[in-house]
Amino acid sequence: MAGRVTKQAQLRSALTTLCATLRPGEMLPSERQLCDDYQVSRMTVREVLGQLEADGVITRVPGKGTFVAERVARSRLHMASFSDDMRRLGRTPSTVVLHSDHAVPPQATVSALGLATNEMAFHLVRLRLADGLPMSIDDGWYRAELVPGLLERDLTQSLYALFAKEYDCPIDRAEQSVRAVAADERNAGWLGTETGSPLLAFDRISYSRDRPVEHAQSWYRSDRYQVYMTVSAEDSQNA
């Protein structure tokens, strides 16, 4: 049994390394070929492939084969900018500005930011990428008096870093909800996916020293981004 476990560990390490050298969607050798290449049983190959599939490293399509899965960014639910989050995960972030203006926001944003009726705010829509792949769309509104001249800045950088450095307005708290939605035609086009495909939709109000600065909606490709959190028995006792 000990020898078999060792062979499993060796095969898992070898296949994990192989997958890291291939592009998402590339096919792995057949089970029979893996048995021959690594001198292991068919049972060992199937057990290791099952583990890698559960971990999201590969996908198996009946009748077609085994393929390298899309590399999913698995982010812990915490306060961080998109840029910082992607760098922490070993990804290279980049941003494309899709739209920017100074306008009267919708009523939900007026309430979220505590604006007066017909008060204008900065509006910014950005496509966020990781390693060159579309990851999310951020559609945000920002209180103009707290970040004057925002639209004249480099809007491809981290806004949270900009707020802290240039406006003495560090984001230190946020209220956020997340739900599953189907991609509409606009978001599907920007994210490079199919209309109706699953997205994670975030609605966030961000604060600096208890002042609401940002009201943003973000849509993430659920095949490229996951969120997780740590819970404890103490959390349930306090609920």
Does one domain contain both 98 and 182? yes
Residue 118 — left, alpha, or beta (φ > 0 → left; ψ -120 to 50 → alpha)? Answer: left
* DSSP 8-state secondary structure symbol assigned to residue 151: G
Residue 161 lies in a domain: yes
Does one domain contain both 167 and 211? yes
Predicted pLDDT of residue 33:
94
Predicted pLDDT of residue 57:
78
User: What is the model's pTM?
Assistant: 0.68
Residue 234 lies in a domain: no
Does one domain contain both 218 and 199? yes
CB neighbours of residue 48 within 10 Å = 24
Residue 51 lies in a domain: yes
What are the angstrom distances between the C-alpha of 69 and each of 55, 59, 61, 64, 95? 10, 6, 11, 14, 24
Does one domain contain both 61 and 77? no
Residue 236 lies in a domain: no
Highest mean pLDDT among 3-12, 96-105, 169-178: 96-105
**What is the mean predicted confidence (pLDDT) over 40-52?**
90
Residue 233 lies in a domain: no
Compute the mean pLDDT over every residue in the chain, rounded to the nearest whole number. 87
Predicted pLDDT of residue 4:
42
Does one domain contain both 26 and 112? no
Last residue of a domain, one of 42, 68, 94: 68
Does one domain contain both 107 and 22? no
Does one domain contain both 45 and 139? no
Last residue of a domain, one of 17, 50, 68: 68
Does one domain contain both 51 and 164? no
Predicted pLDDT of residue 17:
82
CB neighbours of residue 72 within 10 Å = 17
Residues near 107 by beta carbon (within 8 Å), at least 6 away in sequence: none
Specify the CATH number for the domain of residue 62. Answer: 1.10.10.10
Does one domain contain both 48 and 122? no
Specify the CATH number for the domain of residue 96. Answer: 3.40.1410.10
- Residue 73, pLDDT above cutoff 70: no
Does one domain contain both 86 and 155? yes
Does one domain contain both 40 and 90? no
Residue 237 lies in a domain: no
Containing domain of residue 176, as a range?
73-228
Q: How far apart are CA 171 and CA 213, in angstroms?
A: 8
Residues near 210 by beta carbon (within 8 Å), at least 6 away in sequence: 173
Task: Tell me the three state secondary structure of residue 23.
Answer: coil
Last residue of a domain, one of 33, 68, 103: 68
Q: Which two tokens stand for residue 238?
A: 């306090």
Q: Which of 68-72, 170-174, 235-239 has the lowest mean pLDDT?
A: 235-239
Residue 20 lies in a domain: yes
- Residue 41, pLDDT above cutoff 80: yes
- What is the tens place of the pLDDT at every residue in 178-234? 999 999 999 999 998 889 999 999 999 999 999 999 999 999 998 888 776 666 666
Does one domain contain both 23 and 129? no
Predicted pLDDT of residue 78:
56
Count of domains for the chain: 2
Residue 235 lies in a domain: no
Look at 100 and 134; give whichever has higher pLDDT.
Answer: 100
